[in-house]
Amino acid sequence: MNKSENSTAVADKLVHPMSDLLRMDRMPHIWCSSCGLGTTLTCFIMAVRESGVDEKKIAVVSGIGCSGRVAGYINLDSFHTTHGRAIPFATGLTLANPELRVVVYSGDGDIVAIGGNHFIHAARRNMDMLVICVNNFTYGMTGGQAGPTTPVTAKATTAPYGCYEYPFNIPYLAIASGATYVARWTALHMRRLKNSIAEALPKKGFRVIEIICPCPTAFARKNRMGTGLDLMKYYHDNSIIKHGADPKEADIQMTGKIIVGKFLDIERPTFRDFLVENVSAQIGRK
């Protein structure tokens, strides 16, 4: 056996240690080289395993976009819905079967632009679901258009002179709308992100984890920010871990610090709690 045949044979035997949680028959994935989405997915499947939650009872719901493709790669019950509508689909799913741990895994454009209304209302209701919102500041799948998270002055294919809109601050939006667990990490913070997902997954109520993620092909290229690795270095140098930080201070600018950490972790009755306690009690009295 010559050297190249040998290396091919080795490669054939190389199996991802958590391949049972991935749909290996769908690999290779569509994500670009040095995109952060693969890292976030690795953190997610590690967290699933660590959390001890029954994997049969986890359902992942995605919308549309690069992040929306997660549902197609994860070997759990998974639903790839329409653009922006993962949260209302997940609402029906979680209400029909309270045993399910429902995870919405999608992008910033999907969740806070076209799906923004669903996001705030599901938070208001404290609906049982974990929302993992991968924020790469752009619409990657369609080639790098500006969106509701694009920082002011950032360039995009639909903002050639620089973005002239204020972006959403997702943790602030989530908390103001009623979420009960809110954290932000970057794709660099693998261990902390994994721990955060593992912590939030078994909880009740509306939980949000924002993941700041490099998009080397669209966002970074348009803004001359380098490769995914350069962005990871940027996160390394500019992230400040500040648990319990005031979310008002967590705005993300084109340059400057990125506040990460767990902003909020509280308990309040969920939609189902109210339903069971209030409505059932009244019907019982009838």
Partner 1 sequence: MSGDHACAEGGLAAGCSFFAGYPITPSTEIAERMSERLPEVGGIFIQMEDELASMNAILGAAWGGWKSMTCTSGPGFSLMMENLGLGIVLETPTVLVNIQRGGPSTGLPTLPGQADMMQAKWGSHGDYEIIALAPNSPQEIFDLTVRAFNLSEEFRTPVLVMSDESVGHMTEKVVIPPREKLQITPRRYTKKKPGEYLPFDFGEDEIPEMVKAGDGYRIHITGLTHDKRGYPVINAEAQDWMVRHLMRKIQKNKHRIIQIEEINIDDAEVVVVSYGISSRVAHRAMDLAREDGIKAGMLRLITVWPFCEEKIRELAERVKAFVTVEMNMGQIALEVERCACGKAGTFLVPHAGGEVHNPEDIYQVIKEAAK
Contact positions vs partner 1 (CB under 8 A): 23, 25-26, 56-57, 59, 61, 71-72, 75-82, 84-85, 87-97, 99-100, 117-118, 121, 271, 275, 279-280, 283
Q: Considering the complex, what minimum distance in angstroms separates the CB of residue 120 from partner 1? A: 8
CA distance 215 to 218: 6
Q: Considering the complex, what minimum distance in angstroms separates the CB of residue 59 from partner 1? A: 4
Q: Considering the complex, what minimum distance in angstroms separates the CB of residue 89 from partner 1? A: 4
- Cβ 120 vs Cβ 108: under 8 Å: no
| CA quadruple 270, 276, 280, 282: dihedral sign | negative
Q: Considering the complex, what minimum distance in angstroms separates the CB of residue 147 from partner 1? A: 19
Considering beta carbons, is residue 73 or 263 the nearer one to partner 1? 73
Considering beta carbons, is residue 82 or 153 the nearer one to partner 1? 82
Q: How far is CA 39 from each of CA 35, 222, 259, rounded to the nearest angstrom?
A: 8, 22, 20
- Cβ 151 vs Cβ 253: under 8 Å: yes
Considering beta carbons, is residue 77 or 265 the nearer one to partner 1? 77
Name the nearest CA neighbour of 69 among 29, 19, 112: 29
Considering beta carbons, is residue 80 or 192 the nearer one to partner 1? 80
CA distance 54 to 22: 16
Considering beta carbons, is residue 18 or 275 the nearer one to partner 1? 275
Beta 77-80 vs 258-265: how paired, if at all? unpaired
Q: Considering the complex, what minimum distance in angstroms separates the CB of residue 136 from partner 1? A: 21
